[in-house]
């Protein structure tokens, strides 16, 4: 069977395992609770904030600026902490419990294993995104919502989470201990997140920063460069994971 | 015992840096054979098993499974192999049926044939009663069976079992052994173990490796024949003394055991025992014991592996 079909077999099992563990449900519940809390706070503060802006500007900022953008901005930080928890066990757990031998002895390529694991997390994160987007979408019943901007924010968030997940997957190939993988992923992501703090307004460090590319999307600016940045990051870490697992067979 | 070659291993090498763990291993496994793979700890046994199972790349050499090269076409070769590692590779959160479904799909069993394959594996491994229980809640013995079910789910030509009876209670060990014996009818089996009686019970061929080299490879039948004794224990109420025994035809060495017993090392002539009996009657020794001592597999093993150099302790 080809790589794609096999990776779907693995992804299906991975999702099955994920939803059989309490972790997935807790993550969904806690993230939803926190996001709902923040959403309601923003909504509550909205009339007052807008009237203050109205005194200063002829066109005061709308729900897009005062509710949607801050909501997704917070979401990205929460994901920074949540995604490492979802990816930490992907490979580390298989190594620890000896089930890696099952995958290696099966007629499955390393690429299929890595892709399968990644697809599973991607599906879960898509669900998380969908639950998130329902909240700002509900505003469309009462006001004019800039749907394009909302879409850009959601796609941006999802692309960023893919990059997080792929980095987490790679960290999980490096160790047998899920906790180590989680902390290492968190450290790496935070480093990438804050990369622009070191380098000033422009330059390589600024371009490397996870945050900078996302902020443009929150403003509704969907640039090819930003999309490519996340795709390159995701692909690179997936490739590293494949290389890393292949190298284990060649250990010296 | 003849038939097509299912596994052929040619000049297999594995190095870890300076250390050579496997030193030019050669063997063939034919259809329906059960091969016992023996060696002291650190002999290169698990390295060899891992290379056969595809989780470790050899430094040099070829492995062919069902005629397909494991290195050139890993997917095709692995499809005709089932592997049970030392620790059963199970997911505790899945039920037995769910787990076997995953394994079947992983081993490219067509979707339409999966249900039948699961039922057959469940039935063969005696798992029917626990099919819908979580693997995490099963005993070690049942988990081991689930591991074996996983290895045979896609009807592979060869099944590789790495120490399948370690950590089980005596009854579970018997059950697993019966299961392995049954597997030997339809599949070729490679069985790695420390337990020598297990090999004697189950295997049709034995391979002993020591310090990464193959030091013994023979069929169980000829091993049994070769083990026939060049030793005989004689017990008699009026056993003659050592000098008289030494004059018996064919005796090479004598070891007096006391209480009228002596161990005679002889030239291996097949009629040696009957000649002793005849002499004993003629000279009225009042014979009460005449036991040919067989060289056990254990003796062969110890002789081969504890030779001049002590086993290394490094190599995994």
More confident residue, B57 or B249: B57
Q: Yes or no: say if B78 and A107 are a contact pair by the CB < 8 Å rule.
A: yes
Q: Yes or no: say if B67 and B58 are a contact pair by the CB < 8 Å rule.
A: no
Report, as an integer, the average pLDDT of B171-192: 88
The strand ranges marked E within chain A are none
Q: Yes or no: say if B65 and B157 are a contact pair by the CB < 8 Å rule.
A: yes
Of residues A193, A236, A201, A240, the one with CA closest to residue A91: A240
Mean pLDDT of chain B: 84
Residue B55 has its nearest CB partner, among A10, A109, A249, at A249
Termini Cα distance of chain B? 32
Q: How does DSSP assign B248-282, residue by residue?
A: STTEEEEEEEETTEEEEEE---TTHHHHHHHHHHH
For A21, which DSSP code?
A: S
Q: B-contacting residues of A 210-239, CB under 8 Å? A: none
The CA dihedral of B97, B98, B103, B107, to the nearest 10 degrees, is 100
pLDDT given at position B257: 82
Residue B83 has its nearest CB partner, among A17, A101, A252, at A101
Contact A98 B105 (CB under 8 A): no
Contact A252 B17 (CB under 8 A): yes
State whether residue A31 is helix, strand or coil: helix
Mean pLDDT of chain A: 88
Q: Yes or no: say if B27 and B61 are a contact pair by the CB < 8 Å rule.
A: no
Helix axes A110-138, A3-20, angle to 10 degrees: 60
- Distance of alpha carbon A100 from alpha carbon B223, whole angstroms: 37
pLDDT given at position B255: 82
pLDDT given at position A199: 59
pLDDT given at position B200: 83
More confident residue, A160 or A205: A160
- Considering chain A, what percentage of its residues have pLDDT values greater than 70? 94
Question: Which residues of chain A have a CB within 8 Å of the CB of B83?
Answer: 101-102, 105
pLDDT given at position B2: 43
Report, as an integer, the average pLDDT of B37-52: 84
Categorize the per-residue pLDDT at B312 as very low, low, confident or very high, splitting at 50, 70 and 90.
very low
Helix axes B114-124, B140-152, angle to 10 degrees: 140
A16-20, B47-51, B181-185, B274-278: range with highest mean pLDDT: A16-20
pLDDT given at position A201: 62
Enter the tokens of residue A249: 């067979």
Report, as an integer, the average pLDDT of B84-106: 93
The yes-or-no verdict on residue B222 having pLDDT over 90 is no
Task: Report yes or no: B286 at the A interface, CB cutoff 8 Å.
Answer: no
B171 to chain A, minimum CA–CA distance in Å?
Answer: 25
Report, as an integer, the average pLDDT of B13-22: 85
A34 to chain B, minimum CA–CA distance in Å?
Answer: 29
pLDDT given at position A202: 65
Contact A105 B54 (CB under 8 A): yes
Q: How does DSSP assign B44-63, residue by residue?
A: SHHHHHHHHTTSS--SEEEE
State whether residue A244 is helix, strand or coil: helix
The yes-or-no verdict on residue A1 having pLDDT over 70 is no
Contact B87 A20 (CB under 8 A): no
- Distance of alpha carbon B202 from alpha carbon B181, whole angstroms: 6
B208 to chain A, minimum CA–CA distance in Å?
Answer: 24
For B112, which DSSP code?
A: G
Report, as an integer, the average pLDDT of B226-255: 79
More confident residue, B62 or A65: B62
- Phi then psi dihedrals of residue B156, to 5 deg: -75, 160
The yes-or-no verdict on residue B315 having pLDDT over 50 is no
Q: Which helix (H) or strand (E) holds A72?
A: helix A69-87
- Distance of alpha carbon A207 from alpha carbon A14, whole angstroms: 34
State whether residue B24 is helix, strand or coil: strand
pLDDT in tens, B24-43: 888 888 888 899 988 887 77
B200 Cβ contact list (under 8 Å, min separation 6): B220, B297
Enter the tokens of residue B249: 């035809």
Enter the tokens of residue A62: 């709308």
Q: Yes or no: say if A84 and A179 are a contact pair by the CB < 8 Å rule.
A: no
Counting one residue from chain A and one from chain B, the pairs whose CB atoms sit within 8 A come to 81
Residue B56 has its nearest CB partner, among A6, A103, A249, at A249
Mutate to test the interface with A, among B16, B88, B105 (most CBs of A within 10 A): B105
Closest residue on chain B to A17 (Cα): B93
Task: Report yes or no: B143 at the A interface, CB cutoff 8 Å.
Answer: no
pLDDT given at position A252: 62
pLDDT in tens, A59-82: 777 777 788 888 898 999 999 999
Report, as an integer, the average pLDDT of A152-170: 93
Categorize the per-residue pLDDT at B212 as very low, low, confident or very high, splitting at 50, 70 and 90.
confident
Closest residue on chain A to B60 (Cα): A250
Mutate to test the interface with B, among A107, A113, A245, A250 (most CBs of B within 10 A): A107
Enter the tokens of residue A76: 């990205």
The yes-or-no verdict on residue A163 having pLDDT over 90 is yes
Task: Report yes or no: B46 at the A interface, CB cutoff 8 Å.
Answer: no
A92 Cβ contact list (under 8 Å, min separation 6): A172, A173, A175, A176, A177, A178, A180, A181
State whether residue B9 is helix, strand or coil: strand
- How do beta strands B188-192 and B19-30 pair? unpaired
Report, as an integer, the average pLDDT of B89-118: 94
Closest residue on chain B to A21 (Cα): B93
Contact A17 B108 (CB under 8 A): no
pLDDT given at position A200: 62
B109-123, B226-240, B290-304: range with highest mean pLDDT: B109-123
HSE of A237 in the Cβ direction (CA atoms, 13 Å)?
Answer: 25
Question: Which residues of chain B have a CB within 8 Å of the CB of A6?
Answer: 106, 108
Report, as an integer, the average pLDDT of B43-68: 87
- Distance of alpha carbon B191 from alpha carbon A182, whole angstroms: 38
Contact A20 B94 (CB under 8 A): yes
Report, as an integer, the average pLDDT of B285-291: 85
- Distance of alpha carbon A230 from alpha carbon A228, whole angstroms: 5
Contact B81 A249 (CB under 8 A): no
Enter the tokens of residue B169: 């209670």
pLDDT in tens, B114-162: 999 999 999 988 899 999 999 999 998 899 999 999 999 999 989 999 8
pLDDT in tens, A79-132: 999 999 999 999 999 999 989 999 999 999 999 999 999 999 999 999 999 999
More confident residue, B194 or B229: B194
Answer yes or no: is the ipTM higher than 0.95.
no
Contact A251 B56 (CB under 8 A): yes
For A58, which DSSP code?
A: S
The yes-or-no verdict on residue B1 having pLDDT over 60 is no
State whether residue B189 is helix, strand or coil: strand
Bridge partners for B234 per DSSP:
B262, B290
pLDDT given at position B194: 80
- Distance of alpha carbon A91 from alpha carbon A116, whole angstroms: 11
Cβ neighbour number for residue A115 with a 10 Å cutoff: 22
A37 to chain B, minimum CA–CA distance in Å?
Answer: 33
- B176-179 — which CB contacts under 8 Å span 24+ positions? B176/B141, B176/B144, B176/B145, B176/B148, B177/B201, B177/B202, B179/B124, B179/B125, B179/B126, B179/B145, B179/B148
Categorize the per-residue pLDDT at A12 as very low, low, confident or very high, splitting at 50, 70 and 90.
very high
- Distance of alpha carbon B55 from alpha carbon A100, whole angstroms: 9
Contact A98 B98 (CB under 8 A): no
More confident residue, A219 or B30: B30
State whether residue B316 is helix, strand or coil: coil
Report, as an integer, the average pLDDT of A17-22: 91
Of residues A188, A157, A194, A181, the one with CA closest to residue A85: A181
B89 to chain A, minimum CA–CA distance in Å?
Answer: 4
Q: Which of A190-194, A198-202, B268-272 has the lowest mean pLDDT?
A: A198-202
How many H helices and E strands in chain B?
11, 14
Task: Report yes or no: A138 at the B interface, CB cutoff 8 Å.
Answer: no
State whether residue B227 is helix, strand or coil: coil
The yes-or-no verdict on residue B228 having pLDDT over 70 is no
Report, as an integer, the average pLDDT of B171-181: 87
Categorize the per-residue pLDDT at B313 as very low, low, confident or very high, splitting at 50, 70 and 90.
very low
A130 Cβ contact list (under 8 Å, min separation 6): none
Contact A102 B82 (CB under 8 A): no
The yes-or-no verdict on residue B310 having pLDDT over 50 is no
The yes-or-no verdict on residue B309 having pLDDT over 50 is no
B127 to chain A, minimum CA–CA distance in Å?
Answer: 20
């Amino acid at each position: 069977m080809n790589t794609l079909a096999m990776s779907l077999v693995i992804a299906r099992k991975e999702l099955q395992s994920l939803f059989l563990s309490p972790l997935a449900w807790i993550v969904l519940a806690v993230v939803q609770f926190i996001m709902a809390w923040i959403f309601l706070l923003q909504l509550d503060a909205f009339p007052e904030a807008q009237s203050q802006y109205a005194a200063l500007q002829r066109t005061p900022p709308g729900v897009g600026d005062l509710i949607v953008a801050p909501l997704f901005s917070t979401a990205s930080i929460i994901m920074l902490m949540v995604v490492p928890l979802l990816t930490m066990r992907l490979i580390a757990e298989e190594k620890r419990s000896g089930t890696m031998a099952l995958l290696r002895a099966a007629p499955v390529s390393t690429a299929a294993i890595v892709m399968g694991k990644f697809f599973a997390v991607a599906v879960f994160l898509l669900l998380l995104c969908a639950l998130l987007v329902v909240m700002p979408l509900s505003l469309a019943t009462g006001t004019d919502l800039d749907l394009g901007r909302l879409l850009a924010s959601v796609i941006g968030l999802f692309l960023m989470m893919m990059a997080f997940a792929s980095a987490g997957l790679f960290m999980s190939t490096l160790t047998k201990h899920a906790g180590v993988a989680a902390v290492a992923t968190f450290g790496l992501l935070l480093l990438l997140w804050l990369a622009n703090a070191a380098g000033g307004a422009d330059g390589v460090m600024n371009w490397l920063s996870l945050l900078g590319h996302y902020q443009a999307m929150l403003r509704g600016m969907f640039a090819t460069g930003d999309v490519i940045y996340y795709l390159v990051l995701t692909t690179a870490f997936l490739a590293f994971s494949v290389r890393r697992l292949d190298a284990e067979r060649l250990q010296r | 015992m003849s038939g097509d070659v299912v596994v052929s291993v040619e000049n297999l090498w594995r190095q870890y840096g300076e250390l050579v763990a496997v030193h030019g291993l050669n063997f063939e496994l034919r259809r329906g054979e059960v091969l016992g793979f023996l060696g002291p700890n650190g002999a290169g046994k698990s390295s060899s098993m891992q290379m056969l199972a595809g989780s470790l790349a050899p430094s040099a050499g070829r492995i062919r499974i069902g005629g397909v090269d494991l290195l050139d076409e890993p997917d095709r070769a692995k499809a005709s192999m089932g592997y049970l590692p030392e620790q059963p590779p199970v997911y505790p959160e899945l039920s037995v049926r769910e787990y076997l479904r995953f394994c079947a799909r992983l081993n490219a069993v067509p979707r339409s044939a999966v249900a039948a394959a699961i039922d057959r594996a469940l039935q063969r491994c005696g798992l029917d009663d626990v099919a819908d229980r979580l693997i995490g809640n099963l005993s070690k013995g049942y988990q081991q069976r689930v591991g074996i079910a996983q290895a045979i789910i896609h009807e592979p030509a060869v099944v590789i079992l790495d120490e399948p009876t370690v950590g089980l209670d005596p009854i579970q060990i018997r059950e697993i052994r019966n299961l392995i014996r049954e597997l030997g009818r339809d599949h070729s089996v490679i069985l790695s173990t420390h337990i020598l009686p297990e090999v004697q019970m189950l295997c049709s061929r034995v391979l002993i490796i020591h310090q990464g080299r193959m030091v013994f490879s023979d069929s169980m039948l000829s091993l049994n024949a070769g083990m026939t004794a060049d030793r005989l224990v004689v017990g008699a109420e009026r056993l003659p003394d050592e000098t008289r025994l030494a004059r018996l035809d064919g005796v090479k060495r004598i070891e007096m055991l006391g209480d009228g017993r002596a161990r005679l090392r002889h030239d291996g002539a097949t009629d040696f025992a009957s000649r002793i009996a005849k002499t004993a009657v003629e000279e009225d020794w009042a014979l009460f014991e005449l036991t040919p001592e067989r060289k056990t597999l254990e003796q062969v093993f110890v002789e081969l592996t504890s030779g001049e150099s002590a086993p290394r302790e490094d190599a995994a």
